[in-house]
Amino acid sequence: MDQDILFRVIIVGDTGVGKSCLLLRFSENSFNEQHNVTIGVEFGSKSIDIGNTAIKLQIWDTAGQESFRSITRSFYRRADGVLLVYDATARHTFENCKFWLDEIRQNSASDVVIYLVANQIDLVSNGNENREVTLDEGKDFAKKNNLGGFKETSARSGINVHEAFTDFCTILFNRWKEHKDVQVVERPKIDLRPVAKPKKKFRCYVIVVIFSQIIYDRSLDLFCCY
Ligand SMILES: Nc1nc2c(ncn2[C@@H]2O[C@H](COP(=O)(O)OP(=O)(O)O)[C@@H](O)[C@H]2O)c(=O)[nH]1
Ligand SMILES: [Mg+2]
């Protein structure tokens, strides 16, 4: 393994879309049938190997409700990436993604990576009667808004959950490598010596000549006296 790298990721989206279940599936490979409303922000972590590099994802799971928005906002600033989740069987949660995107863009760093996830896809896999948002609508939204990527997942069955986090993590890692390369690029050396420096040498030379002249004159005076 090359080294450990840490990325901070925040999960946002409407309440009930399955944010906490996605985190549980990814970090502990389990599922919770209950909807235990997240209070403020909850934390989970897991490491992923990308090539030869171990990457630790520190994941902050937020509450979707209005009453917790100010707490959530305080976590955006330090996030490297944001996982924006909607429920593919509930259209209003997809429509609210515009609101969430504004929240993210207003409160996060300008280079934050945003990854879109359509969850609860197990409910549409046996026919499309529960589906309220098509695959293409999700893809288009991600493309139009310049998001890092998009996947349909199911926290219940586990479908695509690991793939979505790995894809997200790979994008974060590639961006980190680009930034790192920018820092190590050798910049052309700038000569910061003052342009006037040669004058100084000349000045020293003049002083030495004058000084020698004075000593010479004095010696002549002394010599003439005798
Ligand atoms: N069928 C199905 N139900 C899910 C899925 N993910 C979450 N749920 C259920 O949706 C409800 C809300 O999940 P939760 O993770 O607490 O939502 P959160 O408010 O976004 O954190 C719970 O009853 C979960 O069991 C999923 O992928 N498929
Ligand atoms: Mg929750």
pLDDT of the residue at 185: 45
Give me the CATH number covering residue 53. 3.40.50.300
Residues 6+ apart with CB under 8 A from 221: none
What tens digit of pLDDT does each residue of 163-211 get? Answer: 999 999 999 999 998 887 655 444 444 444 555 554 555 555 556 666 6
Percentage of the chain exceeding pLDDT 90: 59
What tens digit of pLDDT does each residue of 17-57 get? Answer: 999 999 999 999 999 887 787 777 788 889 999 988 999 99
Ligand lying closest to the C-alpha of residue 38:
2
Residues 148 and 187 in one domain: no
pLDDT of 97 over the 90 cut = yes
C-alpha span between 87 and 94 (Å, rounded): 7
Return the closest-CA partner of residue 17 out of 95, 81, 75.
95
| Alpha carbon of 151 to ligand 2 centroid (Å) | 19
Please answer whether residues 67 and 75 qualify as being in contact, where contact means their C-beta atoms are separated by less than 8 angstroms: no
Which phi and psi angles does 38 have, rounded to 5°? -70, 130
User: Structural domain of residue 44, as residue ranges?
Assistant: 2-179
Q: Is the CB of 64 under 6 A from ligand 1?
A: yes
C-alpha span between 16 and 90 (Å, rounded): 10
Domains held by the chain: number: 2
Residue nearest ligand 1's atom 16 by CA: 35
Residues 10 and 101 in one domain: yes
Residues 208 and 172 in one domain: no
Residues 121 and 200 in one domain: no
pLDDT of the residue at 54: 93
Residues 131 and 211 in one domain: no
pLDDT of the residue at 42: 82
Q: Is the CB of 160 under 6 A from ligand 1?
A: no
Residues 117 and 175 in one domain: yes
The stretch 3-23 carries a mean pLDDT of: 92
Q: Is the CB of 161 under 6 A from ligand 1?
A: no
C-alpha span between 93 and 206 (Å, rounded): 83
Residues 171 and 202 in one domain: no
